[in-house]
Amino acid sequence: MPKRLALHELHLAAGAIADERDGWDYPVSYGDPAAEYAAVRRGVGLIDRGDLGALAVTGRDRASFLNALLSNDVKSLAAGQGARAALLDIHGKVQVILAVLAGEDEMLVLTPPGMAAPTLEALDRYLFSEKAYFKDATEEIATLVLAGPEAPALVSRLAGELPAEAPWSQLRATIDGADVRLVRGGMETGEAEIWLIARAADGARLWSMLMSGGARPVGLAAREALRIEAGTAVYGHDVDGSVLLPEIPFDDLVSYAKGCYVGQEVVIRIRDRGHVNRHLRGLLVDGAAVPASGASVYAEETEIGRVTSAAWSYGLDRPVALAFVRRQHAEPDTAVTVSLGDHRVAATVSALPFAR
């Protein structure tokens, strides 16, 4: 049986059409995905990210312990700052992509759906004498995302303040008596984002308040179009344990000045003396049919890659995809074809993001 978001009934009451995706019963749309997409591009959309995992990390060594493992500099984060980072294996392959939010006495680590427990186990294997303690806090919080050019104004009206503009900056605020952590998102949608992280018990009240404030609920169909247009690679779709960090857009995931971390030697060696054999790129696909995840990509008769994610782009009015392609075919404007059932369709390699 698929998992359900804690606010599942509220989504249905708002007209959600739900379907199973990746083991979750997601609201795919609220009846008009094109309008939901437009709300994020021109107004403010509301996305329920209750599927994300969360780890609370405490103890005096929490920052130095995480810093020794993750690809980005999290030790230097002051309270109210945050960063994205990857946990790699010794071969430089991505085990998980995380967002780390630094507080006064804890660090909150957001994980992809279903990855809180595996991430906790992976981190715990490296824990010896350090004073760092982990708790799976997934069930304790609600995570809502306001996305769109009007998102900051809506949050400012409700909370009276906003976090700094740097990605993953955060502050504590109160909305109608509910304690909320306000976080600047990393533009997964390609637009301004304010994430609201609150106690699970306050999730339904906050959802209703944001809806009353003018936010339009956004389902998975529109959200996928937005994040693919933005070139946002997600773990579990575009990235897994077979992917080297330099094969994907990773500038916001890595620090070259922070010192050692697991997999660093491989990342540095690729930067200084070599290259990867494939890159994650965009594909502009001809026609009206959206390729399936895993569809093969060809240069003439040679298979050169595979699609990882695809969606109908409401902004570009055509299918778009993220795909791994061989280095020799990764330049923008390269003509390729993509398998679509028993035939192929023309496509063009694109730099990322497609749209900003």
Strands 335-340 and 343-350: antiparallel
* Domains of the chain (ranges, CATH numbers): 3-49+139-229 (3.30.1360.120), 277-356 (2.40.30.110)
Q: What is the pLDDT of residues 62-92, one digit of tens each?
A: 999 999 999 999 999 999 999 999 999 999 9
Is the pLDDT at 274 greater than 90? The verdict is no
Count of alpha carbons within 13 angstroms of residue 115, beta-carbon side: 22
Q: Is the pLDDT of residue 233 over 90?
A: yes
Q: Are 11 and 48 in contact (CB under 8 A)?
A: yes
| Whole-structure pTM value | 0.96
* Residue 147 confidence (pLDDT) above 70: yes
The type of residue at 305 is G
Q: Can you tell me whether residue 140 is helix, strand or coil?
A: helix
Q: Predicted confidence band at 356 (pLDDT cuts at 50, 70, 90)?
A: low
C-alpha distances in Å from residue 269, one per residue of 162, 259, 275 = 40, 14, 9
Q: What is the pLDDT of residues 200-228, one digit of tens each?
A: 999 999 999 999 999 999 999 999 999 99
CA end-to-end distance (rounded Å), the chain: 37
In whole angstroms, give the CA distance from residue 312 to residue 321: 9
What is the distance between the alpha carbons of residues 130 and 61, in angstroms, rounded to a whole number? 6
The H-assigned helical ranges of 125-202 are 151-159
Percent of the chain with pLDDT over 70: 99
Residue 249 CA, chain-centre distance (Å), reads 13
Q: Is 352 in contact with 299 (CB distance < 8 Å)?
A: no
Residue 316 has pLDDT above 60, yes or no: yes
Mean pLDDT, the chain, whole residue set: 96
The residues, any chain, with a CB within 8 Å of residue 113's CB and separated by 6 or more, are: 22, 24, 51, 52, 53, 236
pLDDT at 1: 87
Residue 257 class from Cβ within 10 Å (0-12 exposed, 13-18 middle, 19+ buried)?
exposed
